[in-house]
Amino acid sequence: NAGVMQNPRHLVRRRGQEARLRCSPMKGHSHVYWYRQLPEEGLKFMVYLQKENIIDESGMPKERFSAEFPKEGPSILRIQQVVRGDSAAYFCASSLRGNYEQYFGPGTRLTVT
Amino acid sequence: ILNVEQSPQSLHVQEGDSTNFTCSFPSSNFYALHWYRWETAKSPEALFVMTLNGDEKKKGRISATLNTKEGYSYLYIKGSQPEDSATYLCASSGGTSYGKLTFGQGTILTVHP
């Protein structure tokens, strides 16, 4: 059973460009979570999604960031007009249900130049 | 306690030593306590999820306990091995949703042969 997959693993964007990060959950998992690790900091919750629904976006920055988990296909974290402060590792996790253990992907390392 | 806090920040032990770390978390709006093991360049690996006061879980040489009334959890490693070297993270879930994990900064364990 393949684990959580994220792509790309590394992404370089210039300031002002858009970044799209993809996450395919484990087979059978319908709950997806995004976390961010800024340099020298711990993992911080961003958003919790179920298929076609945002359950909790209390950790999402108010502007430029959006997330979706469509009925078909991977979950997407989208960052518009990236700035240097967006440089971080973005981790996706999935679970069978909302109160079960979360399985993490390998992360996408975003560098904004 | 307002945040999830872990101690110590780092720990160096000799092969064969037993060790333990502490995780403190807010006891209000608590749903579950998660422990993860995170090796460099890999994904965080789920170890335990505990929800009930007094819960004890065990996986091989690693075990964990939970006290929800006073807001702390202990992780124990018996007979440490060099392959146990990793960062051990705890996270509490609750607050705005069951799926939102609030992570501590982690305890970095180094086991010397």
Read off the pLDDT of residues A81-105 as tens digits, 9 standing for 90 and up. Answer: 999 999 999 999 999 987 788 999 9
pLDDT, mean over chain B: 93
Q: Taking CB atoms and an 8 Å cutoff, what residues of chain B touch A59?
A: 100
- CA separation, residue A32 to residues A45, A73, A77, B7, B107 (Å): 12, 12, 11, 29, 26
Question: Residue A2 has what DSSP assignment?
Answer: -
Chain B, 10-29: which have a CB under 8 Å from a chain A CB? none
**Nearest residue on chain A to B42, alpha-carbon basis:** A106
The per-residue pLDDT for B99 is 87
Instruction: Show the 3-state SS of A53-104.
Output: EEEECCCCCCCCEEEECCCCCCEEEEECCCCHHHCEEEEEEEECCCCCCCEE
Q: Measuring CA to CA, which residue among B40, B50, B46, B107 is closest to residue B80?
A: B107
The answer on pLDDT for A55 being more than 90 is: yes
pLDDT, mean over chain A: 94
Read off the pLDDT of residues B24-33 as tens digits, 9 standing for 90 and up. Answer: 999 887 889 9
Q: Does the distance separating the beta carbons of B43 and A106 come in below 8 Å?
A: yes
Q: Measuring CA to CA, which residue among B20, B13, B21 is closest to residue B113?
A: B13
- As a whole number of angstroms, the distance between CA A103 and CA A33 comes to 10
The per-residue pLDDT for A59 is 94
Chain B, 41-70: which have a CB under 8 Å from a chain A CB? 42-46, 49
Read off the pLDDT of residues A21-42 as tens digits, 9 standing for 90 and up. Answer: 999 999 999 999 999 999 888 9
Read off the pLDDT of residues B35-78 as tens digits, 9 standing for 90 and up. Answer: 999 998 889 999 999 999 999 999 999 999 999 999 999 999 99
- As a whole number of angstroms, the distance between CA A57 and CA A55 comes to 7
Question: Does B77 contact A at CB distance below 8 Å?
Answer: no
